[in-house]
Structure 1
Amino acid sequence: MKSLTKLAALAATALCAATMPAAAQTTLKLSHYLPPVHGIHTDFIVPWTEQVTQCTGGAVKFEIFPGGTQLGNIAKQQEQVLAGVVDIAHGLHGTPRGRFPRTSLIELPFMTKDAGAASKTLWEMYPEYLAPEYKGLKVLALHAHNGGLIHTSNKKVEKMEDLKGLRLRTPSPAVSEMLTALGATPQGLPPGEVYENIQKNVIDGTVFPWDPVKSYGLNEVLKYHLEAGTYTVPFFFVMNQRKYDSLPENVRKCIDQASGDALVAKFGAWWNKWDEAGRKEAEQAGHTIIKLSDEERERWRKALQPTIDAYIKQTSAQVENAQQIVDEMRKRLAQKEK
């Protein structure tokens, strides 16, 4: 009789366990525009999601949509987050153009060549100087790449005159104006379309740091690389603010711990690693790699000063303290690049 009672109790316990609701689990959608082989995906995005999942004890999981998927369009990363189509996105400030005039001032020529200094400067300046551009968004990180290069398929570029008439892919308005002032013809294209357009001779080359040259397979269609280091471009990593606010406190805490200062501090070393791989591949392919001479750099600087002044003046029509932001960026960058 006792054994029957014990069996009944065990059965009741099992029934209770079967009918109890499982622990609540949230799946967050995260999108970005880069291929899954890129370091942004492998070294940053995936480990970041794993860190948050582990911190929450598995209560939060992620569905990642990289470039090439239905949510991986470079031009839609910000709007997808704001609309709640995805919860989190990593995107490029300059595409589409004109949405982030404050942040994009770091794209001016000769502001910086260092991803670590640029990333930390953007993050430091976000609360006081850049925040108005991110309404509706929980900003998890801002960062920028190392100084960009000029890559060409058939013509070696060593000096300003070599750029005349070259059709070069550009990532942003500031870089477009720089190229125009130097004699080139800027062409706005998403990174994923550069290979085909070089292959078909629609464009003569592109401006990029080293890392996307490898991740987009561009060393197959390029031969010459000028290490100019004249510009950088910024990126955002943001979350829908309403979605963030709706999460339990412990989940928000885990997201915060994985983001902000701790995350931004990693980008300098990451970009160095990613760029090294792209450069090494070009070397192994026997490409010509040229470093812009100090004398030529000074020529470029003088030639571009009117363009820099005009861009700041143009931005001042949208941002009252544009010159103040530029001055503050330069001061902080100089301190970090010592």
Structure 2
Amino acid sequence: MTKKLISTAIAGGFIAGFALVSTPATSAEVTLRTHTFIPPVANPGKTFVLPWSRKVEAASKGRIKVENYWTMQLGGKPTQLLDQARDGVVDVVLTLPGYTPGRMPKSEVVELPFLHTTPQATTFALTDLMDTHLKKEWSEYKVISNFVHAGSMFMMRGKPILKMSDLKGRKIRTATRTGVWYLKALGAVPVPAPLPSIPQMLSKGVIEGAMLPFEIAPAVKMQELVSHFSELSGSQPRMNTSIISLLMHPGSYNKMPPDLKKVIDGLSGRNIAKWAGQNWADIEIPAKKIMQSKKKNKFYKIAPAEVDKMRAASQFAHKEWLRQMKKRGIDGEPVYRDAKALIAKYSK
């Protein structure tokens, strides 16, 4: 169903040796190749990508086979996954649209600092927004699901982040351009980069830390690479979040017979929003234990007065997003207003 992808990895038989296929080869009518930047040991792979694949296979009674390819095994860079899904290089991708800044500009609203509360609330809000403000923005894809992680904290080498002034001049990795605006407002030096770049950047001193949730931290060995983990005091312990997208090439979907389309539809959108949101809340717990397993690691809560300073400074990012919308000829105010209202609604 997909275009043939020519790469050194394929030519060398790399995929045959390392691709993890969720079921053995069968006489399936449809084979979906799923591509992502995360390793198979990462929590999102173990708890969402593979289970979703198995659900699709089970619901189709074996007529759909899902092959999962990890850590960019089919070639390209994490920043190219949106294009791979759009262009039909692969059938399905799991990616962060934030790796391609400005590609989904209206959707970035839920990534603004201090808007996000929980993965459940923000995922439900994002799902609602997909039916209104964001529909056109995602029209080049069959969107299986857009959801968010539990939220970022500071994971640092050297000195911990205990107050806003501790951020001055510190080089910190972020996944999104809204994160770049936020870090600039706090006095830090933002370094935008995909997740797989973090270990090398830390080892070479390119960055001193990263903004991450617990769940993905073990995949890049943060329990070994950093020592200080700082969350916020109060009812909103995380600063921001990132959209995670499971996207399908529309041509791959359209070629399916109607009953197999129903299988995909039944495991898309609102039908899996609750599962996705709850999953990203649940996988924080075991990942945090891994970070706590190293005696050298210390865990902090930034004091309320300092959180207030950070919240006030973060308004720069909100204003910058609205400015970027206006620059593109988009009225960002209704999107911003609805995003805030929906997240608040689902947080109750």
Deviates more, 1:138-147 or 1:290-299: 290-299
- Residues in 2 aligned to 1:123 and 1:71: alpha-carbon distance in whole angstroms: 30
User: Map of 1:141-220 to 2, 5 A cutoff?
Assistant: 141-220=145-224
Root mean square deviation, CA, Å: 1.6
- Residues in 1 aligned to 2:152 and 2:163: alpha-carbon distance in whole angstroms: 16
Please state whether the residue corresponding to 2:245 is helix, strand or coil: strand
Deviates more, 1:61-70 or 1:75-84: 61-70
Please state whether the residue corresponding to 1:128 is helix, strand or coil: coil
Partner letter of residue 321 of structure 2?
Y
Contact 2:325 2:331 in 1 (8 A): no
Q: Gaps spanning 5+ residues in structure 1: where?
A: 1-21
Match of 1:35 in 2: 39
Contact 1:31 1:72 in 2 (8 A): no
Q: Tell me: CA distance 1:319–1:39, structure 2 relative to 1, closer, same or farther (3 Å).
A: farther
Q: Scaled by the length of structure 1, what TM-score is found?
A: 0.90
Please state whether the residue corresponding to 1:63 is helix, strand or coil: strand
Give the deviation of 1:24 after TM superposition.
6.2
Indicate the structure with greater helix content: 1
Match of 1:103 in 2: 107
- How much identity, in percent, do the aligned residues show? 25
Q: Answer yes or no: is 1:232 the counterpart of 2:241.
A: yes
- Residues in 2 aligned to 1:267 and 1:281: alpha-carbon distance in whole angstroms: 22
Match of 2:300 in 1: 290
Give the deviation of 1:328 after TM superposition.
0.3
User: Map of 1:14-93 to 2, 5 A cutoff?
Assistant: 25-71=29-75, 73-93=77-97
Q: 2:250 aligns with which of 237, 241, 250?
A: 241
Q: Answer yes or no: is 1:331 the counterpart of 2:341.
A: yes
Please state whether the residue corresponding to 1:156 is helix, strand or coil: coil
Give the deviation of 1:166 after TM superposition.
0.6
Q: Deviations over 1:70-108 (max 9, x none)?
A: 347311111011111111111101111110001111111
Please state whether the residue corresponding to 1:211 is helix, strand or coil: coil
- Residues in 2 aligned to 1:277 and 1:115: alpha-carbon distance in whole angstroms: 16
Q: Scaled by the length of structure 2, what TM-score is found?
A: 0.87
- Residues in 1 aligned to 2:108 and 2:51: alpha-carbon distance in whole angstroms: 27
Give the deviation of 1:325 after TM superposition.
0.6
Q: 1:315 aligns with which of 325, 328, 347?
A: 325
Q: Answer yes or no: is 1:259 the counterpart of 2:268.
A: yes
Please state whether the residue corresponding to 2:247 is helix, strand or coil: strand
Give the deviation of 1:23 after TM superposition.
6.5
- Residues in 2 aligned to 1:23 and 1:227: alpha-carbon distance in whole angstroms: 50
Give the deviation of 1:319 after TM superposition.
5.2
Partner letter of residue 346 of structure 2?
K
Give the deviation of 1:247 after TM superposition.
0.3
Q: Answer yes or no: is 1:301 the counterpart of 2:305.
A: no
Please state whether the residue corresponding to 1:265 is helix, strand or coil: helix
- Residues in 2 aligned to 1:245 and 1:115: alpha-carbon distance in whole angstroms: 31
Partner letter of residue 140 of structure 1?
I
Q: How many residues align?
A: 317
Contact 1:214 1:277 in 2 (8 A): no
